[in-house]
Amino acid sequence: MLTKKAAVILVGGMMWICVPATARAQGICEPIETVMACLARIRVVLGAEPDRTAAATAAKNTQLTTGKKTETGLDQLAGLGSSVKDFVPLLQTTGLLGAVNKDDKTGIVTIALNAPFLGSTGTDESKDKSLQLKATVDTTAELFEPLKKLIPDANREAVAKQLIDAKPDAQNLTLHASYNILSRRLGRNFSLHQDTLDALFAEALGAVAGPRAAFTQRVLDLANAVSVDFTTTLWNEIAAADRAKIEDGILAIVRAEKEFDAILSREMRAAGLDVYGQLVNNQPQFALTVTRGFRDDLFGPDLVTGRVSFEMGVDNTLNKALGRYNGTCDTAAAACLKAYSAFTSKPSTRSAIKAGNRLSVFGEFVHNLDYHYTSAPHALDLTIAKATGWSAGLQYGRLVGVDDAGTASGRFDASIQWEDPAQDDADSRFVASLTVTKKLGDLSIPFGIVYANKEKFLTGVDHGLSANVGLKFNLFPGTK
C-alpha cells in the first residue's frame, strides 16, 4: 500500500510533464537530501527500482521454501527417491577435520574429513568438490539386535545394559567416501558452466541494446544537465532553475529504467535464461559411495557397503538445451543461443522443468565380515559368516500441479527394486511401488501401493500386495 507521501509523488510525477517548471512550487526531493539520494528514493516510490532489502529477504525465503514447496516426505516411504537429492559439498573449512555435527534424533555424530592432499576440497569456489570424505560415530550404544534376541526375555534389557556398560570404549565408527563425477555433461557444478552462461547472456543482451543505451543516456543527461555535486550538495542549496532540470532528469530516468527493465525481463525470458539455473540443477549426476564400518562385536559385524547411482532430469537438462554446442557456446554464441532458446521456449520443456521430472537407477551391496561373539557368563554365542547382499532399482518422480510460484499441489513417485539379502535363509525378492501424494498446505497425504513377490526374509510366500494411506503434517512451519 502506498503511503500518503508516495501517493503525492506519484500524482506529482504524472502531472509533471504538463506543468511549466516555473509554476512548480513543491519539489519531489526533500530539502535535506542529495540528488543521488532523492533519485534512489523516487525510483523506489515510482516502482522503477524494487525495494532491494525486501528483495533480499524474498530471495532468502525462496531458498528456504524451495524444499517445502516440493517435499512430500515420500523419501521416508517405501524408500522412494526424493526429487531434490543433490550431491552437496560437505567440506567448507580448512584443516584436516571439517565441521562436526550431531543429529540428536539418531545419535549419529558426523565429522567431515578434508582431503586437500587429494586436490578435491577446500573453500575456494573454483576447486573441484567431487570427492567427499566423512566419518560417522553412532553414540546410541544399542546392542546388536540378533545378539539381544538370544538373551531370555525376563532379563533381556538388564543384561543388554550390563554388557554395554562393561565396555564404555566400544566403538561404532563408519568411514564414508563419495565421488561425484563432474564435467560439462555430468554433475551440477555451476562453475563448470560459467563460460556458457556468460556467452548466452552477452548474446541475449544484444536484443536490449537500444533500451539499455537509452537508460544509460538518461542518467548521463542528468549528470550533464547541471554542475552541482550530486553526492554532497543538499536539495535546498541548489538553485531553482537547476532543481527543475534535475527533477525533469529524474523522471526521465524513471521512465527509461522502467521501460528497460520490462524489455530486459521479456527478452531474457524469451531467450530462456530465466530457467537456466533449473536446467543445471537437472543435469545428470553419477555418484559412487563406499563405506567401511568398524564396530565392536557388541554392535554387530564390521560392514563394507557400496552404492553406485545415476540420476537425471527428463527433457529438462542443460545438456538437452545446448545440444551440440555444449562446451563451445563461447565460440559460437549466436548459434548456441538460438539452439538454447528453441529448446527452452517449447511448451513441453517448460512443462518438464516445472514438473521436475527425475529418473534414477542405482545398484548397491552390503557385505558383512565374519562375526563371532561369545559371553560365557550370559551363555551367549553368536556366529555370522561373511556374506554379501545385493540390490538394484529404478525410481521416477515428478511434481504435479505446479503453480507459477513453483509450489506443487502433489507428487507422483514410482519405483521398482530387486533385493538379494545376504542371509542364506532369505529369498531374493522384487518390489514395485506407486505413490501419489496430495499436498494441502502443510499437510501431505500419500496414497501408495506396494507389490512384492516375496515377503522380506521369509520363504514360502508367493506374492504380497499392500496398500497404504498416510498423513504427514508439518507441526513446525519453517522447519523441514
Give the footprint of other proteins on this chain (CB under 8 A).
Answer: 35-37, 39-40, 43, 49, 52, 55-56, 58-60, 62-63, 125-126, 189-194, 197-198, 200-202, 205, 212-213, 215-217, 219-220, 222-224, 227, 229-232, 253, 257, 260-261, 264-265, 268-269, 273-278, 280
In the complex, the smallest distance separating the C-beta of residue 194 from other proteins, rounded to whole angstroms, is 4
Number of neighbouring beta carbons within 10 Å of residue 408: 21
Grid cell 533519485 is found at 39
In the complex, the smallest distance separating the C-beta of residue 63 from other proteins, rounded to whole angstroms, is 5
Gap between the Cα atoms of 248 and 227, Å rounded: 15
In the complex, the smallest distance separating the C-beta of residue 49 from other proteins, rounded to whole angstroms, is 6
- Of 266 and 386, CB closest to other proteins: 266
Which element (helix H / strand E) includes 361? strand 358-368
Paired with 84 in beta bridges are none
In the complex, the smallest distance separating the C-beta of residue 326 from other proteins, rounded to whole angstroms, is 15
In the complex, the smallest distance separating the C-beta of residue 264 from other proteins, rounded to whole angstroms, is 5
| Residues whose CB falls within 8 Å of the CB of residue 129, separated by 6 or more in sequence, listed in order | 89, 91, 120, 121, 182, 189
Closest CA to 312 of 352, 347, 348, 343: 352
Report CA torsion sign: 20, 21, 24, 25.
negative
- Of 74 and 192, CB closest to other proteins: 192
Gap between the Cα atoms of 249 and 246, Å rounded: 5
Gap between the Cα atoms of 357 and 412, Å rounded: 10
- Of 29 and 192, CB closest to other proteins: 192
Grid cell 529418473 is found at 359
In the complex, the smallest distance separating the C-beta of residue 308 from other proteins, rounded to whole angstroms, is 26
In the complex, the smallest distance separating the C-beta of residue 213 from other proteins, rounded to whole angstroms, is 7
- Of 86 and 103, CB closest to other proteins: 86
CB-based contacts of 237-245 (< 8 A; 24+ apart in sequence): 238/35, 241/21, 243/27, 243/29, 244/21, 244/22, 244/24
